[in-house]
A and B are shown apart, each in its own frame.
Chain A
Amino acid sequence: MPSPTHPIRSRGPSGVPARPTIRPAASRLSHRFAFRPPFWLRHALLALLLLGGIAAQAYTLEEFTFDSPEQQAEFRELIGKLRCLVCQNESLAGSQAELAQDLRNEVYRMMRAGQTQDEILDFLIARYGDFVLYEPPLKPSTYVLWFGPFVLIGIGAVFMVRALLRKKATPESDITDAERKRLQELLAADGGNTEKSS
């Protein structure tokens, strides 16, 4: 041991230090099918896929030790930013997939070798692409993703404001005689319904 390794959180209050581990053993479902813990509505699909009597997947518990709580926090942050590459919707921190274990080990190794967070991220992006980031980066190819919905909402808002103004607009303003005539007809037909109906 080069330096005294601190267990991650050694503040056991009762004097018995709890030995912490990074990888929780919270149960997750199989990643053999490359999907995430299934949710309620997926039960049918799940039942179809899983009930074939798949044996429980072997579980590897990793023990990561760190030089300092800061380093441990950094590691947690880092694996929270990364994505499990074979899961549906899970960060590297949450995944039990084998590939995720490997990747976590890799990140741990790089960190112990003294690389900074950015260096590690750059390396992983170079190797796996942006997909490895749980949160899509902001760059030209993801503009559609980040701004697309707002453009759609903006268009919707424009239509809404136009509808509101139309409702408010007085018939005298900038419409042709024919339109005015039609409008008056409509308003006449509509007259019976403007009272509050309850």
Chain B
Amino acid sequence: MIPELGHVALILALVIAVIQATFPLVGSLAGGSGNRNWMNMARPLAYGQFTLLLIAFACLTQAFLTSDFSVLYVASHSNTLLPTLYKVSAVWGGHEGSLLLWVLFMAAWGAAVAAFSRNLPLAVVSRVIAVQGMIAIGFLLFMLLTSNPFERLFPVPVEGRDLNPLLQDFGLAIHPPMLYMGYVGFSVAFAFAIAALIGGKLDAAWARWSRPWTTVAWVFLTIGIALGSWWAYYELGWGGWWFWDPVENASLMPWLVGTALIHSLAVTEKRGAFKSWTVLLAISAFSLSLLGTFLVRSGVLTSVHAFATDPERGLFILIFLCVVIGGSLALYAWRAPEVSEGGRFDLLSRESALLANNLLFVAFTVLVLFGTLAPLIYEAFNWGKISVGFPWFNQMFLALSPFLALLLGFGPAMRWKHDEPMRILRMLWLAFALSVVVLAVLALPMFGARTLWVPVGIALAAWLLFSHVAIVRERLKNKRGLAAWVADMRGSGRSFYGMVTAHVGVALFVVGVTMVSNFQMEEDVRMSPGDSYEMAGYRFQFLGAEKAPGPNYQADRGHFRVFRGDRQITELFPEKRAYLGGGMPMTEAAIDPGLFRDVYVSLGEPVGGGDWALRLYYKPFVRWIWLGSIFMALGGLLAVTDPRYRTGRVRARAPAHAAAARA
């Protein structure tokens, strides 16, 4: 009964999506100032859509919590023994459920736009919500036609198949929702862009409206990707934090374009320049999100033949992608040439720096896209089978990253429109000199850097830190020190400090990556109970392994004491779990985390006589990678709280300009 209720809610949501995609839009295009009645439908429709999808989601969750195995999706992703937390996270542990989560989030973003954009012109809100309705139609149709989570199963099995053990983990329980919030959040930026193209009104006000939404989406995506990386690090049991896997790449591409977008939006908001470029980025960010979700779902990236396994889904995906991406690009091609590119600026100006930033981020995106698809391209053209993985991506990114880091120190120091080289020089020479000193000192042989990458990486991080200190100093120079800072934090300085925080996050990230890539240690050893093994100044004593039953698995739990010198610093209990539902045995690595190093033990296989094969890791500064990501996300949040996004109706600053755009 309840699953049917959910099913009906989904169907009603589709009906609402159709109304949402048509009436408000048509109303906004009607003659004069539009049909207000039709436009006024937008907000209630957005709330209704959200409510219905919430009902559907609640129904599915209820089916999981009560282990209703008459629902096919529940039977294949849950089990009576599954802990409650994972029963909930199992809701999005499979294809159908994650699609439901996706549309639920999109409706949530739509409702949020409806609720928090009281100051926006009604026509803009109507169009934004209509565009979201169009996307929702695609997703809901896809679910109802090919991937219905409420499909019944008969005869009803006594027991479910269990959730994939890999997903029975806290990190992965919250990772997909974060990532989806990011992906789907870009649909708001996309909807704003399409709405602006439809209305022909691309001005600074448009950029200001979509900027906080885009930043929030970016924050979610940043956290989502970092969570995924953290999860892969501790759960997969082999100590890596990024693998250049097609699936990871699929989430990285929207992030890269999204990063370019939030920077480009800054130019459009402040200077009215790059307008059509910003719109193109907004379209690309969401298109790549769609591409990522769908291509991963359909498996085209993992296997070329995946479309054949479920031709119905594959075909639908192809058509949907073509309609969304093709349609929006066609609209762009039609409307963008009419957009004037305002704001003259010089070579040395913040506009130029941000344009260079955009070029680099788009270049990174091209690299990732190219590397991910290269094997497919080579196969398609019969150029032979090639392997594009870790080595290729690392080299390509290493070739470009230093330029980005170098630029990142200069960019925020520059003024809009025009700047003087001498002013920049005066502001930053000390920071630059100090970084060069760092580079020179670390390159000395006594620090044992085997490659030049270590001094270069650390010096670039130092450059980022020093230059931003100098930039903050410059801002507070002629003001009253701390009091000025407090005033800044209360007022419109928050976006500035948000930027600084995020950029310092980049510095932390660079340190983490540099250190862990160059100084990590890893040993594969076989140990008997009582054995000790020393690595990187830590002594690992293995006390043996014993059986440890879990709620839905049987584990072998190893027991280690870790010593530094004579002092015991921690005890570690890595596990190897065999889940009752079947599947591969899972490794639960045991990690002693620290700000400057992680000590990491992962249990391998018993090799007879109580001996175990083990992997020991020493990971210096690995936490800085995620710490840096947290800083980036915090920076984004700080920027969003800037009061200028909450001021009343945005003054139409450039009426003449808007008129030109409409012409």
Contact = CB atoms under 8 A, between A and B. Distances in A.
A17 to B, nearest CB: 8
Nearest to B172: A40
Contacts of A88: 245-246, 302
A69 interface: no
Interface in B598-620: 602-605, 607, 611-615
Interface residues of B, number: 119
A19 B524 CA distance: 10
Interface in B504-544: 523-528, 530-534, 539, 541
A186 B338 CA distance: 12
Contact of A198 (B94, B523, B644): B644
Contacts of A94: 238
Contacts of A167: 273, 343-346, 351
Nearest to A187: B344
A165 B525 CA distance: 61
A157 to B, nearest CB: 6
Interface string A128-158: 0111111110000110110011001100110
Nearest to B162: A51
A1 interface: no
A191 interface: yes
B386 A131 contact: yes
Contacts of B40: none
Contacts of B655: 192
A137 to B, nearest CB: 9
Contact of A131 (B243, B299, B387, B612): B387
A189 B658 CA distance: 9
A36 interface: yes
Given A25-B614, A46-B166, A36 B245 contact: yes
Contacts, number: 313
A15 B530 CA distance: 11
Nearest to A42: B247
A22 B614 CA distance: 10
B270 A141 contact: no
Contacts of A12: 531-534
B654 interface: yes
Contacts of B246: 88-89
Interface in A12-36: 12-14, 16, 18-30, 34-36
A92 B447 CA distance: 32
A135 to B, nearest CB: 4
B175 interface: yes
B81 to A, nearest CB: 15
B384 A129 contact: yes
B584 A57 contact: yes
A141 B378 CA distance: 9
B201 to A, nearest CB: 13
Interface in A118-134: 129-134
Interface string A162-198: 0111011000000000000000001001111111111
A47 interface: yes
A44 B98 contact: yes
B68 interface: no
5 contacts: A13-B532, A39-B243, A44-B98, A53-B583, A135-B387
Please name the 8 residue pairs, one residue from A and one from B, whose CB atoms are nearest each other, closest first.
A25-B604, A25-B605, A135-B391, A27-B587, A14-B532, A193-B654, A25-B613, A189-B660
Given A40-B248, A142-B386, 13 more contacts: A9-B523, A13-B539, A24-B613, A25-B612, A27-B585, A36-B243, A44-B98, A130-B384, A135-B387, A149-B366, A149-B371, A190-B343, A192-B653
